[in-house]
Amino acid sequence: MKLDIETLKILDLIVQFGSFAKAADKLGRAQSAVSYQIKKLEQHLGVELFDRSKYRAELTPEGSAILVEGRRLLQQVRNLEVLAERFSQGWEAKLEIIIDGALPMQPIMRALKRLSQMNVPTRVRLKTEFLSGVQHCFDSNNSDLMLVKSYQSTPYLVSRPLTEMTTVLVAAPEHPLSDLKNIELKHLHGHIELTIADSGDQDPNFQDELQFGSERVFYLSGFITKKNAIMMGLGFGWVPDYLIKQELEDRSLIELDYMSGSRHSFVPKLVHSSERPLGRAGCLLSDLILEEFKEPD
Amino acid sequence: MKLDIETLKILDLIVQFGSFAKAADKLGRAQSAVSYQIKKLEQHLGVELFDRSKYRAELTPEGSAILVEGRRLLQQVRNLEVLAERFSQGWEAKLEIIIDGALPMQPIMRALKRLSQMNVPTRVRLKTEFLSGVQHCFDSNNSDLMLVKSYQSTPYLVSRPLTEMTTVLVAAPEHPLSDLKNIELKHLHGHIELTIADSGDQDPNFQDELQFGSERVFYLSGFITKKNAIMMGLGFGWVPDYLIKQELEDRSLIELDYMSGSRHSFVPKLVHSSERPLGRAGCLLSDLILEEFKEPD
DNA sequence: TAACACAATAAAAAAAATAGATGGTTCAAA
DNA sequence: TTTGAACCATCTATTTTTTTTATTGTGTTA
């Protein structure tokens, strides 16, 4: 003997329409079926829900309290069914995205916000990794999307280019390199290079293509830390331009006069695996991210 | 085709014990019954809950999300059943108490607090009325309990005495009556008497037994207002002693030297009707109130 | 490879829900 | 007051749903 959702719906209808018979009518069932269900519910709960002493059966105070709880329950059932319907319409249950810490968060956040405003049932998980760590995480977690500076291509990976971005080689104004003209690689080697620690590869041989191979390299975690370290005069390093627009303008950071080029452009890519096709939310979010990256930061 | 609570329980068990077969075992049903129910649930929701491609059927991400919702639902069902069980154990759904505003609220509040701490499912409604208004309200609302200074006895009303209380005839120190010795009724008639408006009877003939019949009577609502009015020197009147203990002591209120007695004691009664026998919460609360009234305020 | 655990399926059996009929109320209008 | 309508409980036959039993296929493990 078990509690039946359908019976709670019947209870609700009876109260709503005022009689067993009318509720039966609304349900397209015989009145005896309604009587039977209510009786069964009463027996199950051990509570008299209706007072039959009067002409029209009317709710007892206990029945009223049960009805309130029952309605809450019905609402929750509806929620569950809506959730299921969303899933069956192609919305995936979860969506994991790995993003390279070098890329700006703002457009992603804006895209996620827009996604959430569309009442999408998908639970989004966002992780930040650095350099090869992004792809490593993407592969080992079977993530759905990654946003990378660059990646190791495989036959399954599908990528869409985002708008081009630039990193700038900078140092603090008081740093010796800031005043130097025509800087060559050998000059750089005498100073501390600040770099983001690769979050993926344990292999210390792996190096960022932009790394100079100075004797002293500081590994930091995250570009905000890196920017701060550079501004404190700890060393020099590459920083995404969107992070230091203001600082370059008011010259609290100096772009180094590096002979081989103090700017390095790259096109971030939005990548997913054709082995794990994107669901509806994944496609939608991809489009949103693409859009947001076109906007100025 | 409708959502079945029992099936959610099955879903829960499968995940909990790791296989359809074990869940069936725990339920004391055949494994095929579990298969059938899950299949039905999947069809109803239009969502694949388990991934059968592997040896052990394992939850899909969608299934996992549904399970979370389902468990919440199950908890709510349990709540509903607990509520029903309480009712069937004799706890009434609601309990309405009318109390005379002349009586101290503190003991009642303490009793209600203790009741609520006992996890009683009953919803308590407390109303304050004055004089005949208490009984009037009790009768017309079919209330469960009333706490009165006095009441019109009928064969059905059952009462329990509480501890004796006292009202005192007082005025402000600057009031002319305060300095008068051996006050008689005629002296009182020259001043404003402050009285609580009877909240019940519309009939203006009805008078509180303690009312003096002065020419000018001010009707107030509530003893706090009355006390304030007296302290402001507006007039004289009867006030329950528990309200003015401090004021009598520091002589910011003066007990009048009324010849026929400046103190009037009465025994408040806790009353219910044998036509509406008290439920478990009513009995319990009665006892608690009795107890609390024995404590000093 | 054999024994085992797991899940899907089909068919039969059991259980539960429903419709339809009947009877006893109460209510409201004639 | 009578009469008819609306109400709900209850009974039985019928239909629908659920469960069991038995079987098959597949993957795992000893």
pLDDT at B275: 85
Rounded, the Å distance between the CA of B48 and C1' of D26 is 20
The verdict on A105 and A57 lying in the same domain is: no
pLDDT at B215: 60
- Report percent pLDDT > 70 for chain B: 94
As a whole number of angstroms, the distance between CA A31 and CA A25 comes to 7
The verdict on A81 and A44 lying in the same domain is: yes
The verdict on B73 and B100 lying in the same domain is: no
Closest residue of chain A to B81, computed from CA coordinates = A45
The verdict on B279 and B157 lying in the same domain is: yes
Domain containing A225 equals: 165-266
The domain that contains B236 carries what CATH number?
A: 3.40.190.290
Q: What is the pTM of this model?
A: 0.78
- Mean pLDDT across the stretch B234-244? 93
- Mean pLDDT across the stretch B47-58? 88
**pLDDT-derived band at B61, boundaries 50, 70, 90:** very high
Would the CB atoms of B46 and A94 count as touching at under 8 Å?
no
For residue A279, CA distances in Å to A93, A145, A255, B84, B211 come to: 9, 11, 43, 44, 82
Rounded, the Å distance between the CA of A140 and C1' of C1 is 36
As a whole number of angstroms, the distance between CA A219 and CA A229 comes to 11
The verdict on A221 and A249 lying in the same domain is: yes
Name the domain count of chain A.
3
pLDDT at B201: 61
- CB nearest to A46's CB, from B5, B6, B88: B88
pLDDT higher at A102 or B9: B9
- CB-CB neighbors (< 8 A) of A62 in chain B: 84, 87, 92-93
pLDDT at B221: 76
The verdict on B173 and B216 lying in the same domain is: yes
The domain that contains A24 carries what CATH number?
A: 1.10.10.10
Residues whose CB is less than 8 angstroms from the CB of residue B230 and which lie 6 or more positions away in sequence, other chains included: B170, B171, B172, B194, B236, B237, B239, B253
The verdict on A185 and A258 lying in the same domain is: yes
As a whole number of angstroms, the distance between CA A272 and CA A278 comes to 8
pLDDT at B237: 93
The verdict on B47 and B100 lying in the same domain is: no
Nearest chain A CA: its distance from B74 CA (Å): 9
- Mean pLDDT across the stretch B195-199? 84
Which of B73, B88, B103 is a domain's end point? B88
pLDDT at A216: 65
Identify the residue whose Cα has the smallest distance to the C1' of D19: B33
pLDDT at B209: 62
**pLDDT-derived band at B158, boundaries 50, 70, 90:** very high
- CB-CB neighbors (< 8 A) of B70 in chain A: 80
The verdict on A100 and A30 lying in the same domain is: no
pLDDT at B214: 60
Nearest chain A CA: its distance from B49 CA (Å): 10
Would the CB atoms of B65 and A46 count as touching at under 8 Å?
no
- Decide the pairing of beta strands B58-59 and B50-51: antiparallel
All residue ranges of chain A with pLDDT < 70 are: 1, 200-211, 213-216, 296-297
Any strand C atom closer than 7 Å to A28 CB:
yes
DSSP 8-state secondary structure symbol assigned to residue A278: -
The domain that contains B109 carries what CATH number?
A: 3.40.190.10
pLDDT at A217: 73
Closest residue of chain B to A47, computed from CA coordinates = B88
The verdict on A67 and A209 lying in the same domain is: no
The verdict on B223 and B154 lying in the same domain is: no
pLDDT in tens, B110-123: 999 999 999 899 99
The verdict on A154 and A287 lying in the same domain is: yes
pLDDT at A1: 57
